[in-house]
Amino acid sequence: MGTVYDTIGVNYSELRKPDRRIEALIGKALGSARTVLNVGAGAGSYEPIDRRVTAVEPSMEMIRQRPAGAAPVVQGRAEDLPFGDDSFDASMAILTVHHWSDKAKGLREMRRVTRGPVVVLTYDSSFRGFWLADYIPELVALDEAQMPRMTDYEDWLGPVEISAVPIPHDCSDGFLCAYWRRPAAYLDPRIRAAISSFWALGDVSEALRRLEGDLESGAWARRHSDLLALDECDFGYRLVVAN
């Protein structure tokens, strides 16, 4: 993951600003924890400012983008956390688990160093319904290859609660499905540069040309008119909480 984000992490902090509504769900899941470990912390999105946070991040490019005053960060990986057992009240991993080389080991490490809740924002690879996959069907296979199954989390963390995280139509965090009601955004190479899926897929120019054509002709709007009336929608993002 470190090598990948040393490449794609440029301008990441500008394009992946935490969304306040998703932030509220994460904060609620953290409960009363005062000390929090953020694993795969990136540039610091979703780190609560009212708690004592320690960040772990492998990519130096991402560490450089952490703002002044951000939580202290250790360059390291989830699979080998440099902390003793039960060191933190809670831990969190936000849209990062799919990049880990050994997901089971990383999550078990989080459980080892955490006294209370382990909070993971991830994606359910069994979900079907994101319209972009009609243009880029390779997204489905990529998700299945990268994402843990929802049943894996209980194997690795113990009993978990899993809840849907609806994505607002104006989501400020530019992950893959954030632009579900703003389809023209996917034509912007700068926006795609902050979405790891596009780096993994390689050349999708033909698919984007078809999307551009459907936007110009109005075919996309006719096909997805039901989405245009929604303020938020479920696209498979899930909050996994192990207490």
Residues 134 and 131: their CA atoms lie apart, in Å, by 5
User: What pTM does this model have?
Assistant: 0.92
Strands (E) in the chain, as ranges, are 35-39, 52-57, 73-75, 90-94, 118-123, 161-164, 167-168, 232-233, 237-242
CATH number at residue 50: 3.40.50.150
Question: From its phi and psi, is residue 188 left (phi > 0), alpha (psi between -120 and 50) or beta?
Answer: beta
| pLDDT value of position 39 | 98
57 has pLDDT over 60 = yes
Q: Which residue has the higher pLDDT, 243 or 12?
A: 243
Tell whether the model's pLDDT for residue 76 goes beyond 70: yes
Instruction: Give whole-number Cα distances, 74 to 34, 39, 49, 59, 78, in Å.
Output: 19, 10, 18, 10, 11
DSSP state for residue 119 in the 8-state scheme: E
| Residue 27, token pair as written in the block | 């904060």
Indicate the residue type of 194: A
Cross-strand pairs, 16: 173
- Residue of higher predicted confidence among 2 and 226: 226
Does pLDDT of 10 surpass 80?
no
Average confidence (pLDDT) over 183-199: 94
Q: Residue 165: left if φ>0, alpha if ψ -120 to 50, beta else—which one? A: beta
**Selected residue with higher pLDDT from 150 and 11:** 150
List the domain range (segments joined by +) for residue 237: 2-242
Structural domains of the chain, count: 1
